[in-house]
A and B are shown apart, each in its own frame.
Chain A
Amino acid sequence: EPEVTQTPSHQVTQMGQEVILRCVPISNHLYFYWYRQILGQKVEFLVSFYNNEISEKSEIFDDQFSVERPDGSNFTLKIRSTKLEDSAMYFCASTTQGVVADTQYFGPGTRLTVL
């Protein structure tokens, strides 16, 4: 069964460093998402992406964040200058049509630790 994959599973970085989190969505999916979950808190929406542009973004997704689909398979989240409060589990998700009833399929997540 096709699944969303994410690398790395765990990333440790120093405050102020740039990180890139990678995701490979399910191959025939067209809509892509990033969510994050700070330890002990709820899963929060960051950004949605379709047709090579951002469809929607949350207040969390400020200028320090960017997303890209550099090729036909990868979907990346870049944090330019990490802060301690960026430490969280980051989940990538994808879906076929992006309509409200669609199921979003999630990857296993990348745990980001900022020291």
Chain B
Amino acid sequence: AQSVTQLGSHVSVSEGALVLLRCNYSSSVPPYLFWYVQYPNQGLQLLLKYTSAATLVKGINGFEAEFKKSETSFHLTKPSAHMSDAAEYFCAVKTGTASKLTFGTGTRLQVTL
């Protein structure tokens, strides 16, 4: 069975600081990993995805994530936080032929002045 764990339900950073949101996965087969963002009162928007091509994946809004098989991790980073980054971030995994997404519990990012 596939699963993801997101450490930290709430993360607070200052504007301009590094953003690091953690995601660890569990899968017996090579996973496909996704980060989605949810702004208030909106749906889930894809930030980036890992599909085994390159381990460092760049997404929208300056975010990137690195797939580390040895650590079973896919942490999301952004060098400099902006107020507009405040949102809920979800890590998700798909494996094999399964088309369903399995989500983590989400991390709410707060950006302060």
Contact = CB atoms under 8 A, between A and B. Distances in A.
Answer yes or no: are A and B bound together in one complex. Answer: yes
Interface of A: 4, 6, 31, 33, 35, 41-45, 48, 55-56, 58, 91, 93, 95, 98-109
Nearest to B99: A98
A102 B49 CA distance: 9
Contacts of A6: 43
A98 B99 CA distance: 6
Contacts, number: 62
A100 B94 CA distance: 6
A53 B80 CA distance: 46
Interface of B: 32, 34, 36, 41-46, 49, 51, 90, 92, 94-106
Given A91-B43, A103-B49, A106-B44, A42 B106 contact: yes
B100 A4 contact: no
